[in-house]
Amino acid sequence: MKNIVLLFLFITAAANAQINRFFYEYKFIPDSNNKEDVKKEMMLLDIDKNGSNYYSRDKFVSDSTSMAEVQKQIKSGSGSININRRDNAGQVSYKVTKSYPDFKTYLFTRVSMDQYKVREDQKPEWKILPEKQKIGEYNAQKATTNYGGREWIAWFSTDIPFQDGPYKFYGLPGLIVKLEDTTGSHIMTLVGNKKMESPVAANEMDMPGNVRIMGIGGKEIEISKDQYRKLWKDYVNDPTKNMREMMMRNGGSDNTRVSFKVKTQDGKEVSDPNQVFREMEKRTKESLAKNNNPIEPDLVK
């Protein structure tokens, strides 16, 4: 009985954990050859006593909903799982975490079928300038840094006593309320904040060990930035390599049978593996060509 009471107290404490949530409007230009096409995404920076999490609101909602649907299908015992891609699944797929007090930073991202936890080994080195201005409702001061292959301008406010900010940026005497690179390709602006209970991430939900959903949940592989650069280069050169290898490993297994289907641009559905991989490689290379202006160029060079 004592164990049950202790467990109940632990669950109650976890449910009541409070965070400070900051909302950032993120404007970015994916294609440097088409600067008129400016995308927008609402990003969340959740801060508590242990650290912070920075991620897309739309992706979080989409992943959580998809995971709940999968769990429901598993409990039904039908033996099959059907996942429908949502229209508003988010444009920003990565997440950044920082742990206090040392600000140990990780980038959570995906390459092909695999998810990675990339250790950050560079600390932003700031030059604080005397210029001040009002950013929204906050009194802010200017600072600059070179980071990840870009020159950045930050406006921080000591009105908000957190030495943190969007993406991998931190280390100023107050929260970063606006951040932009000097080309205007990436701009993050604080638009609101509130206190709330800590959310449950999609990858923290219970899933059977034999169920794997690409891009949702699962265990990330921890790697260095150099290792990630090599993985990315290999992926660009051969986008479907991981999928081909997975089919070769599992294609003949009775327990784990893998199949892919895609639709071509003219709407024709193809299931022949060779055709599928050709179509996927074509789409991936077209997507990479149109997303040539990443937030951190040094990571994918």
pLDDT tens-digit series, residues 16-72: 578 999 999 999 999 999 999 999 999 999 999 999 999 999 988 876 665 555 555
Q: Which amino acid is at 87?
A: D
- Provide the pLDDT for residue 287: 85
**Closest among 32, 57, 297 to 184, alpha carbons compared:** 32
pLDDT means over runs of 10, the chain (301 residues)? 38 61 98 95 97 94 64 56 58 96 96 92 96 96 98 97 97 98 98 87 51 58 96 90 68 50 62 71 85 95 85
- Provide the pLDDT for residue 275: 73
- Provide the pLDDT for residue 17: 75
d(CA 108, CA 116): 6
Residue with tokens 């400070």: 20
- Provide the pLDDT for residue 286: 86
- Provide the pLDDT for residue 48: 96
User: What residues does each domain of the chain span?
Assistant: 14-299
Q: Is the peptide bond before 173 cis (omega within 30 degrees of 0)?
A: no
- Six-digit token string for 96: 């950044």
- Provide the pLDDT for residue 41: 96
- Provide the pLDDT for residue 281: 80
d(CA 177, CA 190): 5
- Provide the pLDDT for residue 159: 95
The gap from C-alpha 173 to its chain's centroid, in whole angstroms, comes to 26
The CB density around residue 129, as the number of other CB atoms within 10 Å, is: 11
pTM above 0.85, yes or no: no
- Provide the pLDDT for residue 259: 54
- Provide the pLDDT for residue 144: 98
- Six-digit token string for 221: 């592989």
The CB density around residue 71, as the number of other CB atoms within 10 Å, is: 16
- Provide the pLDDT for residue 178: 98
d(CA 201, CA 217): 9
CB-based contacts of 42, cutoff 8 Å, min separation 6: 23, 24, 25, 26, 56, 57, 58
Helices 225-237 + 241-250 axis angle, to 10: 80
Are 173 and 132 a contacting pair, CB within 8 Å? no
- Provide the pLDDT for residue 5: 37
